[in-house]
Amino acid sequence: MSNENLQEAVKQKYGAAAKQVLAGGTATCGGGAESSCSDPITKDLYDTRETSALPEEAVAASLGCGNPAALAKLCPGEIVLDLGSGGGIDVLLSAKRVGPAGKAYGLDMTDEMLALARENQKKAGLENVEFLKGTIENIPLPENSVHVIISNCVINLSGDKDRVLSEAFRVLKPGGRLAISDVVVRGEVPTDIRKSVELWVGCFAGALEEFAYRDKLFRAGFENIDIEPTRIYKVEEARDFLASAGLDIEKVAPLVEGKFMSAFLRATKPFSRANVVGPSCRA
């Protein structure tokens, strides 16, 4: 499948998820029938103290696999960019953490998600937020312009991850931090899983193997690379998910057990004498 076709499939899936929320429902990662609170990937990611202060629709649209805004240890005054911001939950949480002196950008390519996110921003009454339309492969921001890049379960969906990481590197200020949650694979993955577009769009089959992820981050120019598992999935939890993609669960199970995890990935853009523009608070 070409990158263009893949992006189109992803847009349709997440456009439909946004419409579910706008119609009063809850978005689901694979677009399936289960609610996200019973989904092993998206459930219980946020503290209720964080979510109770957000619009219900921002929480209902949450399709991530971690809580990057909390793990990134954001500081007042920082500029944050969320790659694949969806309904905006992590952008709104980031905006609260960086305060009025800072700013949180959300970037998404799906019109319905952007409409939902902007509606959620209005309901939250936050002014230091801006949602941008575009792709994470071509970030519509200048180089050296943000302190922190977060992302929540999106990079696994891209057909050109090298491009995404080099774009992230470009827009980060020297000393800036990449702090992302993503699905990561440990070891070999069966080919039939890799080939399944349904699983890809539903957060799984586009996931990188952890050493391959490290290598891509390193080749994009990042340093201080760290990958921390936050949740390791059991086959039993994914049984319905895998079966609904038409896979023979008994055959696939032993090959999948313990190999998929949500992880928090950290890395920094090195300082260079040529382009130091002032340290962020973590540098």
Ligand X SMILES: C[S@@+](CC[C@H](N)C(=O)[O-])C[C@H]1O[C@@H](n2cnc3c(N)ncnc32)[C@H](O)[C@@H]1O
Interaction residues for ligand X, span 243-282 (CB under 6 A): none
Contacting range for ligand X; rule: CB under 6 A; set: 47-55, 79-87, 170-178, 230-238: 79-87
Amino acid 117 reads A
Q: How many chain residues interact with ligand X (CB under 6 A)?
A: 25
Name which position in 39, 78, 108, 182 contacts ligand X (CB under 6 A).
108
**Which listed residue (158, 196, 262, 280) binds ligand X by CB under 6 A?**
158
Measured from the CB of residue 117, what is the shortest distance to ligand X in angstroms? 8
- Which of 135, 196, 262, 280 binds ligand X (CB under 6 A)? It is 135
| Tokens encoding 36 | 């996200």
Alpha-carbon distance 146 to 197, whole Å? 33
Query: Does 72 contact ligand X by CB under 6 A?
Result: no
Tell me whether strands 103-108 and 129-133 are parallel, antiparallel or unpaired. parallel
Stretch that binds ligand X, among 46-54, 107-115, 186-194, 210-218 (CB under 6 A): 107-115
Output 120 or 128, the one with its CB closest to ligand X. 120
In the complex with ligand X, the residue whose CB is nearer, 111 or 228, is 111
Q: Which of residues 195-214 bind ligand X (CB under 6 A)?
A: 203
Q: Which residues are at the interface with ligand X (CB under 6 A)?
A: 7, 10, 14, 62-64, 84-87, 89-90, 108-110, 113, 135-137, 152-154, 157-158, 203
